[in-house]
A and B are shown apart, each in its own frame.
Chain A
């Protein structure tokens, strides 16, 4: 089934630990995005990539890094997790200007 796969589904992480959230798409979309969803704040863009080999910062990039070595994969890394990074993280991809996004099912991360 074509779409976006995120892993893990959920994770409890000790503060200060490093964590990589995985995102893989099989639609050959050029653009990929990472959002975090927090109650009352909607979705906020963390990082994005318009094409393989390029990345950019979104609205809330601090404490996160990404890489885009190929078209399909777009991992998000928390170098040293803090409790304020407790959130639901969504990966998304897009094939063009007008088409909107395809979203993954999300990763629920709790930092304690």
Chain B
């Protein structure tokens, strides 16, 4: 079946540190991959996406590359800020080339805390 596994948190970093949040997936066919961010008390917001192998999604200094050979979509940022403190969700949308429900399957989320 389809599933997403994220590294366990919380991840605690100092401001300006390098961030990596690991995400691996299991899927049939050719899924699209997404990262969502949830700030305290809010809903989820789309951070970035990639729709095919070797695509790189990027937004607000965050990047993730769709690696089909390692079934991974790790989130990176070169220099985190206190305002990046949030919960980050990796997700996939299954697609087998002929049909798609449009449903997203989420990982369990990784909490990032950035300290000044």
Binding site for B on A (CB under 8 A): 4, 31, 33, 35, 40-45, 48, 50, 56, 58, 90, 92, 94, 96-98, 100-106
Find out whether the CB atom of B43 lies under 8 angstroms from the CB atom of A40.
no
How far, in whole Å, are A104 and B38 apart by their CA atoms in the complex?
11
Interface centre among B34, B89, B95, B101 (most CB of A within 10 A): B101
- A42-B108, A43-B89 known; A50+B102 contact, CB < 8 A: yes
Interchain CB contact (< 8 A) of B46 among A40, A58, A100, A106: A100
Q: Which of chain B's residues have a CB closer than 8 A to the CB of A104?
A: 43
- A97-B100, A98-B49 known; A103+B43 contact, CB < 8 A: yes
- A101-B46, A103-B45, A105-B42 known; A43+B100 contact, CB < 8 A: no
Q: Which of chain B's residues have a CB closer than 8 A to the CB of A31?
A: 102
Find out whether the CB atom of A97 lies under 8 angstroms from the CB atom of B95.
yes
Q: Which of chain B's residues have a CB closer than 8 A to the CB of A101?
A: 44, 46, 104
How far, in whole Å, are A87 and B22 apart by their CA atoms in the complex?
26
Q: Which of chain B's residues have a CB closer than 8 A to the CB of A94?
A: 102
What are the 6 A-B residue pairs with the smallest beta carbon separation, nearest first? A103-B43, A42-B108, A100-B46, A43-B106, A42-B106, A103-B44
Interface centre among B49, B103, B107 (most CB of A within 10 A): B103
20 more A-B residue pairs beyond the given contacts A58-B103, A98-B32, with a C-beta to C-beta distance below 8 A = A4-B43, A31-B102, A33-B103, A35-B106, A40-B108, A41-B108, A42-B109, A43-B106, A48-B101, A48-B103, A50-B102, A56-B101, A90-B44, A92-B104, A97-B32, A100-B36, A100-B104, A101-B46, A103-B44, A105-B42
Report the minimal beta-carbon distance from A80 to chain B, rounded to whole angstroms: 27
How many residues on the B side are at the interface (Cβ–Cβ under 8 A)?
Answer: 23
Find out whether the CB atom of A90 lies under 8 angstroms from the CB atom of B103.
no
Report the minimal beta-carbon distance from B2 to chain A, rounded to whole angstroms: 11
Residue B81 interfacial (CB < 8 Å): no
